Amino acid sequence: MARAHFSDNFAIARRTMVTEMLAARGIRDKRVLEVMGQVPRHVFVDEALWPEAYGEHALPIGFGQSISQPYIVAKMCELLELSGSEKVLEVGLGSGYHATVLSKLARSVFAIERIPELTERARRKLESLGINNVIARIGDGSAGWKSFAPFDRIVVSAAAAEIPSALPEQLADSGRMVLPVGVQEEQCIVLVERRGATILRKEIERVRFVPLVGERKRAGA
């Protein structure tokens, strides 16, 4: 009975998160709001952090990484404009939370994570939730996943100083990519759109993400 009550509390917390933190801040995509209200964010962090799981802040997941705050996940998903038929590349699998949300909004998700322990933990979590349309591998996400390109959508969950050159090349025509760009306090979510040979770029809003390590290493940082 206590466990059931605990689950009820999390369901209430998710509904509150959707109405008071997402919709209230301008998220309008009904599918995104519905999925964010369904996915149990608390199971992607340590049990000691469960009481904080539906607050408007990032949470640590180990190895110097974090799970993004709910609003940022929702905003990035909304910017992707997913209808359910897309093939998505996610750079930075992390806890697996964002991939789980994407899995319910798109046809398939190809996720790359550089930290083996996080990759395996996320795989187990996805399996336990019955998610079968996410394929994950260990690697440098800034290089993309050429063998499965082009992708209808690309989302990056770590910040590079500049857009990694390999990623726009793997974006399908009329595709959209959302990623944080910048260093330290000067990061901004950027929307990239491909129109034939033309790449359009639009800055959306200021953010703070962990660095995209693979790209920084190649840049000599």
DSSP track, the chain:
-HHHHHHHHHHHHHHHIIIIIIGGGT---HHHHHHHTTS-GGGGS-GGGGGGTTSSS-EEEETTEEEPPHHHHHHHHHHHT--S--EEEEE--TTSHHHHHHHTTSSEEEEEES-HHHHHHHHHHHHHTT--SEEEEES-GGG--GGG--EEEEEESSBBSS--THHHHTEEEEEEEEEEESSGGGEEEEEEEEETTEEEEEEEEEE---B-HHHHHHTT-
**Catalytic residue IDs:** 68
Distances in Å between the alpha carbon of 119 and those of 29, 63, 94, 175, 194?
29, 12, 7, 26, 29
